[in-house]
A and B are shown apart, each in its own frame.
Chain A
Amino acid sequence: MRPPRAAIVTLAVIVLAALAAPVITPYNPAAQPDIVADKNLSPSRAHPFGTDQYSRDVFSRIVYGGRTSLSIAGLSVLVALLIGTSVGAVAGYAGGRADRWLMRGVDAALSVPRLLLVLVLAAAFGQMSAAGLVIVLGLTGWPGMSRIVRAQVREVAALDYVLAARALGIPPLRVLLRHVLPAVMPQVLVAATLGVATVIPLEAGLSFLGLGVPAPVPSWGGILLDGYEQRLRAWWLLVFPSAAIVVTVIAVNVVGERLRESLDPRLRPPV
């Protein structure tokens, strides 16, 4: 595989920054020191990314926002992965009626735009905590994952070495867990990576609509909402969180696509 060095380095920086947030941020992201004097300051040495309408330091908010966005994205993809793999593996391996019915359910779920499902859940449960968001995003994400897993499991299950394992009398669950799933994992990993790249904008979008993590917790989408409300008065409220999201998503996408390329040589650029 052509290692995407730039992307990996970028991601490492972002993740480390998120982990080290309390250490590297000069201000408390929720602190509103001087609403009158320090409101909407453009970027300066004291505030590299400026301040927002409540005089909060934008740089600190973005770093902490990264924490929020990354952890929510990562955890929700994990949830989707766990449920999706289970359902997809069972459907793909068992085949027959179980497969048909499970996939009908999955197709039904996939017919509804994910955003709408999330909105319905938001309408039903009102303001959600971060944990609630993880569950909502995970629950709306597993159908897509299960399709990929099912397709892969079907392909692998038809391979000779799996047939050999079955012919040896190895019980089906063991065959599935020890022989089929490990072969399926690489493609699933690709899907999970690209899934993270999908969830980050979705979570940001929800925060932008005011439906994401509740107000005091900083999030990239939330900062964008502040920017939208300030329109042209504070371009730094639009540019920096956008850049943060875009850079992160591109990095994740590049890593995911390189992984995919390494599994299918046709996609590589010519030598």
Chain B
Amino acid sequence: MRGFLLARARQAALVLVAVVSLTFALAHAAPGDPFWAIEDPQLSTAERDRLRSEWGYDLPVWKQYVTWLGNFATGDFGWSHSRGQPVVAVLRDAVPNTLILMVPAVLIGVLFGVALGTWQAARDGRATARAADAATLTFVSIPDFVVALLALSVFALQWQVAPASGMVDPVFHDSMPALGRVLDVASHLWLPAGTLALLIAAAVSRYQRVAVLGVLHELYIQTARAKGASERITILRHAVPNALGPVIAIGGLLFPTMFAGAVFVEKIFAWPGMGLTIVDAVAGRDYALVQAIVVTGTVLVLVANTAADVIASIVNPRTRLEA
């Protein structure tokens, strides 16, 4: 197990270096100067040149690259000119907010998706299962942001059962007692997280259905029935545990998609997480911030993937990693 985790950490480091290098290359390959202040019309040419050398942009490219890498490694992600703060400060607020949104959404979405997919496989061929299949197909075919728009329109704007934007009440939040603050966040959380969970559940259920159907053809399922196990027990105790392995592996590949979904949900519900931040940063051409968020997002995905692989190996005794 430890060897596995170490190998993964090493892999992750390489991926991150690749990502940082790529973004560096892009910044310099793109038209225009990567030095952001170039766009600021208020600076005189002399000022600009001075700042340029102060920030190191007049150094040879390879030197800039090494410094860049070094900075990233030490956690210095530069300055966010659209926010007027060090990038790290922006991340310190944005990242936990995204986690607050994504973690419940992913957990609920996966659970619900597994249950739904299993149910569909158990009733394969029957009218109800076919209807559910059509429903999930429709759902995954609707772009994430459209689902979020619909949710916003119906629940927040039309029926007004949820606040239309933000994570906290803009006026009163800070003056609330601790429990009040938690409830405030929760009341803002349920709709965006619920929307995201729904999107995840639809996608997961489709994979789960296919996985369970695949397993139901195996001989040990017939053995279970021959032992006198009811259809329900056969599916729950024999089919599902065997189907989970492949689903978790596929689920690992879904994390990037889930993250993208979160980006749109955050934008539409104005949830102040990484997604909203990066969208605004792109619009404001705040390259340093965009970079940092891409790197952080990648880290999150890598961690989630590793966790998923560990869980998958636990579920399947043949591939279990000894501690």
B80 within 8 A of A: no
Closest A residue to B14 by CB, please name it.
Answer: A108
| B285 near A269: Cβ-Cβ < 8 Å | no
Q: Distance (Å) between the CB of B300 and the closest chain A CB?
A: 9
Given the interface pairs A267-B210, A269-B125, the reply to whether A117 lies near B294 with Cβ below 8 Å is yes
| B142 near A112: Cβ-Cβ < 8 Å | no
| A111 near B287: Cβ-Cβ < 8 Å | no
| A253 near B285: Cβ-Cβ < 8 Å | no
Interface size on A, residues (CB 8 A): 49
Given the interface pairs A113-B259, A209-B279, A269-B124, the reply to whether A224 lies near B23 with Cβ below 8 Å is no
B217 within 8 A of A: yes
Q: Distance (Å) between the CB of B117 and the closest chain A CB?
A: 13
| Interface of B, helix, strand, loop or mixed by DSSP | helix
Stretch among A56-64, A77-85, A184-192, A241-249 lining the B interface: A241-249
Which residues of chain A are within 8 angstroms of B224 by Cβ–Cβ distance?
none
A115, A126, A228, A249: residue with the most chain B Cβ atoms closer than 10 Å: A115
Roughly how many angstroms separate A150 CA and B125 CA in the complex, as a whole number?
A: 33
Closest A residue to B256 by CB, please name it.
Answer: A113
| A114 near B291: Cβ-Cβ < 8 Å | no
Roughly how many angstroms separate A123 CA and B291 CA in the complex, as a whole number?
A: 9
Q: Which of B142, B213, B279 contacts A119 (CB 8 A)?
A: B279
Closest A residue to B288 by CB, please name it.
Answer: A123
Q: Which of A205, A224, A235, A249 contacts B141 (CB 8 A)?
A: A249
| A126 near B31: Cβ-Cβ < 8 Å | yes
A8 within 8 A of B: no
Closest B residue to A105 by CB, please name it.
Answer: B18
B149 within 8 A of A: yes
- Chain B, interface size: which category? 35 or more
Roughly how many angstroms separate A126 CA and B286 CA in the complex, as a whole number?
A: 11
* A227-240 to B contact mask, C-beta < 8 Å, 1/0: 11001100100100
Q: Distance (Å) between the CB of B170 and the closest chain A CB?
A: 19
| B282 near A116: Cβ-Cβ < 8 Å | no
Which residues of chain B are within 8 angstroms of A117 by Cβ–Cβ distance?
294
B42 within 8 A of A: no
* B207-225 to A contact mask, C-beta < 8 Å, 1/0: 0001001100100000000
Q: Scan residues 291-306 of chain B and give those whose CB is less than 8 A from a CB of chain A.
A: 291, 293-294, 297-298, 301-302, 305
Which residues of chain A are within 8 angstroms of B125 by Cβ–Cβ distance?
269-270
Roughly how many angstroms separate A269 CA and B120 CA in the complex, as a whole number?
A: 11
A108, A113, A200: residue with the most chain B Cβ atoms closer than 10 Å: A113
A72 within 8 A of B: no
* A105-147 to B contact mask, C-beta < 8 Å, 1/0: 1011011111111011111111000000000000000000000
Which residues of chain B are within 8 angstroms of A104 by Cβ–Cβ distance?
11, 14
Which residues of chain B are within 8 angstroms of A211 by Cβ–Cβ distance?
282-283
Q: Distance (Å) between the CB of B129 and the closest chain A CB?
A: 8
Stretch among B56-64, B180-188, B261-269 lining the A interface: B261-269
Q: Distance (Å) between the CB of B65 and the closest chain A CB?
A: 16
| A205 near B145: Cβ-Cβ < 8 Å | yes
B278 within 8 A of A: yes
Q: Distance (Å) between the CB of B299 and the closest chain A CB?
A: 9
| B291 near A125: Cβ-Cβ < 8 Å | no
Which residues of chain A are within 8 angstroms of B213 by Cβ–Cβ distance?
266-267
* A167-208 to B contact mask, C-beta < 8 Å, 1/0: 000000000000000000000000000000100111011001
Roughly how many angstroms separate A119 CA and B213 CA in the complex, as a whole number?
A: 38
| B27 near A124: Cβ-Cβ < 8 Å | yes
Provide a sorted-by-A list of 24 A–B residue pairs whose CB atoms are within 8 angstroms. A112-B294, A112-B301, A113-B257, A116-B259, A119-B282, A120-B22, A122-B282, A124-B23, A126-B30, A200-B143, A201-B142, A201-B143, A202-B143, A204-B146, A209-B267, A232-B157, A246-B138, A250-B141, A253-B140, A267-B214, A269-B124, A269-B125, A269-B130, A270-B124
List 11 other contacts, CB 8 Å, given A110-B253, A113-B257, A204-B146: A111-B302, A114-B257, A126-B31, A126-B285, A200-B143, A210-B283, A231-B153, A249-B143, A266-B217, A269-B125, A270-B125
